[in-house]
Amino acid sequence: MARTKSPTTIDAGGGDIAPEVAESILRQQNEASERLALVVAQFGDGLPFDPHRYEYIIRDHLARSAESMLAAGRALIVARESLPHGEFMPFISRIGIEHSLAKRMMQAAVKFSDGATAKLVDAAGNKTKLFELLVLDDEEIEVLAQGGTVAGLELDDVERMSAGDLRKALREAREEKKAADQLMSEKNTAIDRLRAEITKTATRIQSTPPDEEAQALRAELTAQAHGAEHAVRGGTREAIAALTAHALEHGGDHGSVIAGVVAQIQQAIDDLRAEFAIAGVAPMRPEWAEE
């Protein structure tokens, strides 16, 4: 028997809908049905959705343990997906919960829907502490549920702490992590800046003609030589003069100390000559003095 062909138009109360519009509507309806089927399969109880029954389920779970709160959150997800547009708010209003609480319950149901988190849910024990744990990301929840340490906390700590203590510990851990991340960011910025400066300097040196670079290096040497000479003729001479004047006025012989200081200066100069094989005799007026 031949298959009956599908109509190419849909009657809309006296008017036909174009085939492409009808196809779009059907596709959207199919997608909505598929999404609802997935939600019911993951969060439902295996029975068809009925608003009154789900109101009872949610009310029954609200005052119980953390696991019961998650069951209520799963029921809220099914209700939100199943109810017509605009009816979810009246639905939760009839139950007696605010939208913000319903939202957190649904978030918790999604975050703790994996069976691997069962130990963490049991450790939390009540919905208040479970809500506090919502600040953790999925990876942290998985580590904590498997017996690891997150934010300095283990499963025993979650079970032992009050909701207030848990909130404080998680907040302090977040603040410490934020400060550590900020410090690391600043350190990385400083390192990047230093690398950029090194690269810039290396590029500048490579691009400088040899003659110009030599001139710059000689100017630096001249400046250092002027500084050393000024230190000897200025500060060192004044210190020797002051010590000599003190000896003349109050007595005492400081000649060996003065000789030792001058010998140190001379030794430093001799070391430079030896290291760089500098000639012992220079022109009467050094070349750098002409610059």
pLDDT for residue 158: 77
**Calpha distance 95→236 (Å, rounded):** 92
User: How many residues appear in the chain?
Assistant: 291
d(CA 29, CA 219): 83
Give the pLDDT confidence score for residue 286 in this predicted structure: 56
Give the C-alpha distances (Å, rounded to integers) separating 64 from 14, 15, 226, 290: 54, 54, 86, 95
Q: What confidence score (pLDDT) does residue 3 get?
A: 42
- For residues 79 and 87, the answer to whether their CB atoms sit within 8 Å is no
pLDDT at residue 6, rounded to an integer:
45
Please identify which residue in the block is written with the tokens 């909505």: 32
Structure tokens given for 117: 């988190």
pLDDT of residue 229: 86
* Cα–Cα distance, 200 to 208 (Å, whole number): 12
pLDDT in tens, 77-126: 888 888 888 888 998 888 888 888 888 888 888 888 777 777 777 777 77
Per the structure block, which two tokens stand in for 154? 């283990």
pLDDT in tens, 33-53: 777 777 767 777 667 777 777
Under 8 Å CB-to-CB from 65, ≥6 apart: which residues?
125, 126, 127
Task: Please enumerate, as own/partner, the contacts of 141-144 that have beta carbons within 8 Å and a separation of 24 or more.
Answer: 141/111, 141/112, 141/117, 142/114, 142/116, 142/117, 144/120
Question: Which positions of the chain have pLDDT values less than 70?
Answer: 1-16, 40, 45-46, 60-65, 204-209, 280-291
